[in-house]
Amino acid sequence: MNIFKELFGRLWIVWAAILFTSTMMIFFIPFLLLCYFRPEPQKTNRFVLYSRVWMNIFLTLIGCPLKIKGRENFAAGQTYIVLCNHNTIIDVPASSTGIPGGNKTIAKIEMAKIPLFGLLYKTGSVLVDRKSEASRRESLGKMKEVLSLGLHMCIYPEGTRNKTNQPLKFFHDGGFKLAIDTKKSIIPGVIFNTKKVLPPDKTFFLWPHSIAVHFLEPFVIQPSDTVEELKKKVFETMKNYYAANQK
């Protein structure tokens, strides 16, 4: 059984790569014609709308249908900072397309250099060079600009993928500082099952399994909130929710 699973998982990731590339090429033409040259926030709003269709088709065809819970926690006309746990690369399309309305994701700059895909990646992201202190500082201002456009900002406070056996890794300060500076409420997003799809202890392996993103009730920023207090509250809420709802 283990040999079958190992073989199937490696064949399945080849299928997923072929499917991703082919669907991206189909999506790229309408993206370039109808999204890329539009002014913001229309550019990002259209991109997210089209990519939501693209990713739902792609994830379904690779046996990883996406299920979203808690969209009602996004009040109409409000802009939020969405903080999600981060296990695999699939977390990004799952959370970005699951968020109702236009949004951008904080993302590492290296991926933007990939031909064609890089244009899509840059459109949906605030890019940061993690090796540059100046880039990290500038990203805070860029994220404030995103929020000022009426777009949600999606951040992964663990910073890098969680390859441990714990529900969450240590949270960094950036998303919480952004919330206090802008007074924008935080909506935690808890992502389930992406480690089952892309196990951290395997390379070149993908296993079909449903994925879920649960958006929790917002944390409204209070005048007395500090970065450390807010970080602790959100961390505990997400950790406890993950532990209580993982299957």
Per residue in 13-53, pLDDT (tens digit) is 999 999 999 999 999 999 999 999 999 999 999 999 999 99
Distance CA 44, CA 151 (A): 8
What is the average per-residue pLDDT within 106-126? 94
Supply the DSSP string of 128-164, one letter for each residue.
E-TT-HHHHHHHHHHHHHHHHTT-EEEE-TT-S---S
What is the average per-residue pLDDT within 145-170? 96
Picking from 198, 218, 232, the residue whose alpha carbon sits closest to that of residue 62 is 198
Within 62-193, residue ranges assigned H as helices are 91-98, 117-123, 133-148, 174-182
- pLDDT at residue 122 tops 80: yes
Q: Would you state the pLDDT for residue 96?
A: 95
201: tokens are: 């202890």
User: How far is the CA of 218 from the CAs of 73, 187, 215, in angstroms?
Assistant: 7, 4, 9
Q: Would you state the pLDDT for residue 1?
A: 58
Average pLDDT over the chain, rounded to whole? 96
Q: Would you state the pLDDT for residue 12?
A: 98
What is the average per-residue pLDDT within 74-80? 97
Distance CA 57, CA 14 (A): 17
Tell me what percent of the residues of the chain surpass a pLDDT of 70.
100
Per-residue pLDDT band for 130 (boundaries 50, 70, 90) equals confident
Q: Is 31 exposed, middle or buried (0-12, 13-18, 19+ CB in 10 A)?
A: buried
171: tokens are: 């949270």
Helices 42-61 and 91-98 cross at an angle (nearest 10°) of 120
Beta-ladder partners of 187:
82
Distance CA 57, CA 34 (A): 20
Sign of CA dihedral 129, 230, 67, 154: negative
- pLDDT at residue 131 tops 90: no
Per-residue pLDDT band for 227 (boundaries 50, 70, 90) equals very high
Euclidean distance between the first and the last CA atom of the chain, given in angstroms as a whole number: 22
Q: Would you state the pLDDT for residue 192?
A: 98
Q: Would you state the pLDDT for residue 193?
A: 97
Query: Which of 125-134, 146-155, 226-235 has the least mean pLDDT?
Result: 125-134
The dihedrals phi and psi of 213, each to the nearest 5 degrees, come to -125, 125
Distance CA 221, CA 218 (A): 9
